[in-house]
């Protein structure tokens, strides 16, 4: 039962939450820049296309044409994609209201749910605002009518609101299953990965017409939700189907009302019910034994183990592994390059623009980076309130070695994975082994660099990931710096193995680029011209080097530089830890 004036309370709660999240983004410069980039880049691309095509459309308006079924189906596909992302976001980050003890003892679940929907809708609308504004203006210009000034914002708002409501419903339902069903609770990581693979697999079938068993988006035009795009044709020369438009509006209304009602019921059950214990019946869970305390950490990370190191270093390594296992949300940041890189490459391979052999070098690079970045890019922040205890208990050398150990344990896995993928991609054994070696080296160097960078640029403030307000992923700056330091030389090293000619060309830029630039300002003679020609000669000299020399020379230099950088990183991390003042 909702309290009186619940709608007003929900609007107030939603706008308060929205302002809070905007302030949080504004305070985090790195996140703000990333968001601005991700919003403005597609807007600029779209703007460029609009500048090219809008005048042509204006001159040749397709009078009387109906809205194509593929557009309605595409809208449905896009809506489903949005629902999936918003559902993931809800189950992982918003399954409870922020400051739940306050909210749930102050307002009804309906108010809390609707407030959350309002806040999320405002966030999404803010995100799409520049693109939507551009589409609105371009529509008005291209069709020479003011109708899009009304229809585009209307359709956009309904589209976003319905996707948010459906996403909340899906997210609360997922969180409810995790909270109530022991099997789901125990296997939630695997199950969510399976759901994501199935969803994105289906999505790709609709998106990539060139792949086998691909599906036509027009098939989804039967789903009435996408019919709402028919409203965009109102007031334009495009023919408008009132049946489709009314069907779309009714479906959206049903999603908003029905979905909102169901989301409220499930959320109330989720928030006020008892959670199951995911370790119930789990033999690996700690049980009361004769010696419960001693060896508890070793049992907790089982079947993993930390060989080779002993004493306090091993304890730090064990805890680092346990934290990664118990708090996997903190590793989410690794998914960006993994999914972004591999799925992007996979898409290009499927479309035939890139050879499958590209997977070998890509795995060497990405797996090497992941191995290095996984455990130690925010060590001080990861410690949370335990940091004073850690600083007063272990030395920097012990601590940093403990952080390095789990990452170094991944070296054989990275090597084997790279070798397997490279051989499967068609490389000879020599090249495959060299790529595996590069992967191993990058893992080790990345592991050694990560604590230094992480301690230098720590993130202490927790952000909300998963159902925890207490997750501290690495700072964007730390992630970017580590990525640049591993990826750029790593790409050169991989290139030295599989494309030495390209590396030779890039390295020759050391001479060619300054030579070219100086040549622009120099005359045909004089001091600058002499210097410019000297640089040109250096570039030409490098370009004339045999490829074997490039492979071993550049590769050797980069490998040695990596080892040196890793050593310096390790020393720096130890020094910074020993000198760190947490207050």
Partner 1 sequence: MPAIETTDLTKQYGDTVAVAGLDLAVDAGSVFGFLGPNGAGKTTTMRMLTGLVRPTRGRATVAGADATDRDALRPRIGYLPEEPPLYDHATAYEQLDYAAGLRDLDPERARERIDDLLDRLDLPPEDASGRIADYSKGMRQKVAYVQAVLHEPDVVFLDEPTSGLDPRAARTLRELIAELADGGTTVFLSTHILPVVEEVADTVGILYDGELVAEGAPADLQRRAETGEARSLEDAFLELTTDAVDAAPGEGDG
- 581 contacts partner 1 (rule: CB under 8 A): yes
Span near partner 1 by CB under 8 A; candidates 145-153, 391-399, 420-428, 445-453: 391-399
- 6 contacts partner 1 (rule: CB under 8 A): no
Q: Which residue is listed with tokens 């996997």?
A: 328
Distances (CA, A) of 259 to 12, 120, 264, 332, 506: 21, 15, 8, 29, 56
- 287 contacts partner 1 (rule: CB under 8 A): yes
Mark out the alpha helices in 457-475 (DSSP H runs).
none
Contact between 302 and 207 (Cβ < 8 Å): no
- 393 contacts partner 1 (rule: CB under 8 A): yes
Q: List for the chain the helix, strand, coil content (%; round to 5).
A: 75, 0, 20
Among residues 45, 243, 284, 286, which is the contact residue for partner 1, using CB under 8 A? 286
- 157 contacts partner 1 (rule: CB under 8 A): no
d(CA 74, CA 168): 22
Give the phi and the psi of residue 508 in degrees, each rounded to 5.
-65, -15
Give the phi and the psi of residue 464 in degrees, each rounded to 5.
-90, 110
Instruction: Name the residue nearer to partner 1 (CB basis): 58 or 299.
Output: 299
Instruction: Name the residue nearer to partner 1 (CB basis): 312 or 553.
Output: 312
Span near partner 1 by CB under 8 A; candidates 153-161, 297-305, 340-348, 417-425: 297-305
- 388 contacts partner 1 (rule: CB under 8 A): yes
d(CA 509, CA 577): 39
Instruction: Name the residue nearer to partner 1 (CB basis): 265 or 464.
Output: 464
Among residues 187, 323, 543, 571, which is the contact residue for partner 1, using CB under 8 A? 323
Among residues 147, 196, 297, 477, which is the contact residue for partner 1, using CB under 8 A? 297
d(CA 370, CA 94): 27
Span near partner 1 by CB under 8 A; candidates 28-36, 183-191, 294-302, 413-421: 294-302
What is residue 327's three-state secondary structure? coil
Among residues 392, 524, 525, 527, which is the contact residue for partner 1, using CB under 8 A? 392
Contacts of 554 (CB under 8 A, 6+ apart): 492, 496, 500, 503, 504, 507
- 316 contacts partner 1 (rule: CB under 8 A): yes
- 189 contacts partner 1 (rule: CB under 8 A): no
Nearest distance, CB of residue 305 and partner 1, angstroms? 14
Among residues 258, 273, 384, 412, which is the contact residue for partner 1, using CB under 8 A? 384
- 321 contacts partner 1 (rule: CB under 8 A): no
d(CA 116, CA 94): 8
In degrees, to the nearest 5, what angle opens at C-alpha 255 toward C-alphas 251 and 258?
A: 120
Within positions 463 to 502, which residues make up the interface with partner 1, using CB under 8 A?
Answer: 470
Q: How many residues bind partner 1 (CB under 8 A)?
A: 41
Contact between 41 and 34 (Cβ < 8 Å): no
Chain centroid, CA 75 distance in Å: 24
- 302 contacts partner 1 (rule: CB under 8 A): no
Q: How many CB atoms lie within 10 A of CB 257?
A: 11
What is the binding site for partner 1 (CB under 8 A)? 286-288, 291-298, 300, 311-312, 314-316, 318-319, 322-323, 326-327, 384-395, 398, 470, 578, 581-583
């Amino acid at each position: 039962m909702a309290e009186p004036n619940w709608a007003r309370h929900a609007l107030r709660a939603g706008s308060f939450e929205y302002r809070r999240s905007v302030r949080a983004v504004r305070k985090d410069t790195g996140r703000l820049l990333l968001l601005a980039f991700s919003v403005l880049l597609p807007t600029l691309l779209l703007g460029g296309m609009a500048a090219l095509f809008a005048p042509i459309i204006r001159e040749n308006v397709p009078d009387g044409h109906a809205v194509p079924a593929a557009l309605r189906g595409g809208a449905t596909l896009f809506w489903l994609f949005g629902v999936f992302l918003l559902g993931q976001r809800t189950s992982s980050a918003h399954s409870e209201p922020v400051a739940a003890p306050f909210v749930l003892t102050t307002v009804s679940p309906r108010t809390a749910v609707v407030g959350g929907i309002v806040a999320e809708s405002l966030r999404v609308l803010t995100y799409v605002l520049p693109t939507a504004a551009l589409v609105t203006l371009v529509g008005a210009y291209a069709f020479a009518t003011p109708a899009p000034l009304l229809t585009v914002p209307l359709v956009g708002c309904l589209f976003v609101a319905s996707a948010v409501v459906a996403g909340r419903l899906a997210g609360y339902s997922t969180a409810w299953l995790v909270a109530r069903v022991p099997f789901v609770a125990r296997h939630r990581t695997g199950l969510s990965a399976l759901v994501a693979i199935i969803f994105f697999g289906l999505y790709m079938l609709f998106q990539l017409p060139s792949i086998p068993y691909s599906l036509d988006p027009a098939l989804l035009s039967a789903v009435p939700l996408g019919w709402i795009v028919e409203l965009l044709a109102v007031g334009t020369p495009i023919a408008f189907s009132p049946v489709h438009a009314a069907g779309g509006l009714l479906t959206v209304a049903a999603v908003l009302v029905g979905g909102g009602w169901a989301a409220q019921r499930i959320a109330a059950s989720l928030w006020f019910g008892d959670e199951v214990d995911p370790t119930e019946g789990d033999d690996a869970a700690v049980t009361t034994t004769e010696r419960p305390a001693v060896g508890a950490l070793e049992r907790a990370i089982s079947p993993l183990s930390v060989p080779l190191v002993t004493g306090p270093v091993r304890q730090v390594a064990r805890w680092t592994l346990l934290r990664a296992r118990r708090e996997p949300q903190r590793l989410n940041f690794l998914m960006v390059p993994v999914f972004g890189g591999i799925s992007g490459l996979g898409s290009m391979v499927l479309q035939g623009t890139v050879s499958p052999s590209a997977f070998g070098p890509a795995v060497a690079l990405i797996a090497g980076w992941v191995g290095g970045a996984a455990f130690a890019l925010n060590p001080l922040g990861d410690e949370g309130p335990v940091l004073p205890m850690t600083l007063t208990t272990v030395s920097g050398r012990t601590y940093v070695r403990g952080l390095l150990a789990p990452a170094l344990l991944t070296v054989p896995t990275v090597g084997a994975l790279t070798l397997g993928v490279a051989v499967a991609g068609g490389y000879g054994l020599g090249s495959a082994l060299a790529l595996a070696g590069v992967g191993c080296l990058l893992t080790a160097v990345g592991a050694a660099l990560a604590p230094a960078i992480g301690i230098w640029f720590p993130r202490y403030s927790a952000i909300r990931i998963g159902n925890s307000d207490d997750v501290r992923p690495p700072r964007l700056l730390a992630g970017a710096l580590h990525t640049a330091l591993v990826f750029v030389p790593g790409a050169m090293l991989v290139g030295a193995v599989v494309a030495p000619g390209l590396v030779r060309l890039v390295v020759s830029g050391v001479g060619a680029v300054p030579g070219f630039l100086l040549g622009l300002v120099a005359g045909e003679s004089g001091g600058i011209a002499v210097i410019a020609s000297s640089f040109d000669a250096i570039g030409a000299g490098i370009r004339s080097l045999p490829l074997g020399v490039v492979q071993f020379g550049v590769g050797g230099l980069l490998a040695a530089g990596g080892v040196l950088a890793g050593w310096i990183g390790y020393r720096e991390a130890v020094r910074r830890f020993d000198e760190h003042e947490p207050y």
